[in-house]
Structure 1
C-alpha cells in the first residue's frame, strides 16, 4: 500500500474492477489496519456474491445447491435490501432480471459503502472510496474544501459531462460506455434501451447504486419523474439524443461542462 504525502492511497483489483481508496486523514496504525480490513472485506464479498464464480454462495443459492440459512448472514441482508430497492423503484430494480438470482446491481455499492464505514470507524473521516466509478465520499478533500469528482462523458473519452462537488455524498453512474448493454429490462429480460448515462447522488451508495441501475432501465422520462418524487436523490441524465437534464439540486460545480 502506497502512502501519499498526506494520508493513504491504495488501489485493489477485485470484483472484476478496480477499487481505489483515497484517505486524507493522518495515517495512524488504526487507519492502516482498517484499510487492510476493508480490502479483505471486498475479497470476501467477491467470494460470497460473484455470479461468475461457481463456488460462490450466491451461485450455489441460485442453482439450488444450498439454502439461504446455510449462507453467510450478509446474503439475507443483501437480498432484503434488493427487495427494498425493487419496491421503491416499482420493480425497475430487480435481482432476478436475467431469470436467475443476481444481486450485482446493488452489491458493489453496498460493499463500497461498507468499506467506507470500516475506515470511518477507525478514525478516517475524510475519505473517497471508489468502486469501479461509483463513489462513497466522506468529510472533505482538505480542510474547508469539499470533494470534487468528474462524471465521464460516455461518448467522448477524456471529456467530462459534469463535475460533482460535495461532502458525505454518494455518486453512482449507470450506462453502456464501460460494459456495453449489461443492464436488463426486468419486464422483458432483454437489454434496457435506456439513456446514454444516468448519474444519481444521495447519502448512501447502497441505494444510490441500485437506483442508478433502475433509472437507466426505466428510461429518461420515467427517471425524471422518479427523481422529482423522491427527496434526497438527485439525477443527471444524458439522453440517447445527446440532451442533458439534471434535477434542481444536482450537486454540479457551476460552470462545468454542459
Structure 2
C-alpha cells in the first residue's frame, strides 16, 4: 500500500509492505498525526503553539510536552554545533522546523512499529524513516537532478539529506547569520530520523567542518559533497554493492 499527501509544505509518502495489518487505517493515523503537528508547530500559522510562544502569549509552564521536547532538541543541536544550528536567528521569529520534520516523522514510524507494522517506509520530502527492510534509498546528485551519487541499503534506520538544490540558500549558519557555504549536500544515516535530519541540517550549516562533526556523532554515517565537488563518505556507510 502506498499513499502520498502534501503536508508541512512537502510531499509525504507512506509505503507499507505488510499483509498482516490494516494498512489503510495505519496510513490514516500517520497522516492525521503529521497534520496535527503542522497545525501545532508551524511558524507560518498564526494560531500555532509555536507562533503563540513567539509572541509571548504562552508561559513556559503552559507549553505542551511535545513542544518542550522539540525546543530541548533545538537547544541540544545548537550547543552541539557550536551555534551553527539555530531555531531562532537574529531578526527572525522562532522556527523549529529543522527539528520538527524529522522528529514528527520518526514519531509516526515509532507508532507504526508499536502497532505491529513490520515493514514500512516513510518519505517526507526526501528524508526517509524505515521499518524492517532492506530498503534502497538513492542519494541525489547535488547538481544533476537525474543522477544518483550513491544508493543506500537501510533497515530499521533513517536517511536525511540537506542541500540547496530544492530550496536554494535556505539553511543559515547561525554563527554568521549568512547562508551556509562550503557544502553542496550532506546525507546522514542514523538510527532515527530525528537524529539524521537535525544532524544533516547542522552539518550543512557548519560548512566543510560539518562533515567530520557529523561523522563523529554516535550511530551516524555520512555522505557529503563539498563546494569543490569532492565527495566524502564514512567507512560504515551502507552503500549497495554492485
Shorter-normalised TM-score: what interval? over 0.9
Identify unmatched segments of 5+ residues in structure 2: none
Which of 106, 111, 115 is the aligned partner of 2:108? 115
Alignment map for 1:154-165 (pairs within 5 Å): 154-165=142-153
Q: TM-score, normalised by structure 2?
A: 0.94
Aligned equivalents of 1:169 and 1:214: distance in 2?
A: 19
Runs ≥4 in structure 1, deviation > 4 angstroms? none
Does structure 2 retain, via aligned residues, the 8 Å contact 1:9–1:21? yes
Which of 230, 235, 242 is the aligned partner of 1:248? 235
Which of 221, 228, 235 is the aligned partner of 1:234? 221
2:198 paired residue number = 210
Which of 79, 84, 91 is the aligned partner of 2:76? 84
2:7 corresponds to 1:14:
yes
Question: How many residues end up aligned between the 2 structures?
Answer: 241
TM superposition shift of 1:252: 1.5
Q: TM-score, normalised by structure 1?
A: 0.88
Q: Deviations over 1:70-113 (max 9, x none)?
A: 33321111111212222332332221135431111111001111
1:172 paired residue number = 160
Aligned equivalents of 2:241 and 2:230: distance in 1?
A: 18
Which of 136, 147, 156 is the aligned partner of 2:129? 136
Which of 24, 28, 38 is the aligned partner of 1:36? 28
TM superposition shift of 1:228: 4.2
**What SS does the aligned partner of 2:25 have?**
helix
Identify unmatched segments of 5+ residues in structure 1: 1-7, 141-145
Aligned equivalents of 1:190 and 1:253: distance in 2?
A: 36
**What SS does the aligned partner of 1:18 have?**
strand
2:97 corresponds to 1:104:
yes
Does structure 1 retain, via aligned residues, the 8 Å contact 2:81–2:206? no
Does structure 1 retain, via aligned residues, the 8 Å contact 2:128–2:158? yes
Does structure 1 retain, via aligned residues, the 8 Å contact 2:199–2:214? no
**What SS does the aligned partner of 1:41 have?**
helix
Backbone CA RMSD of aligned residues: 1.5
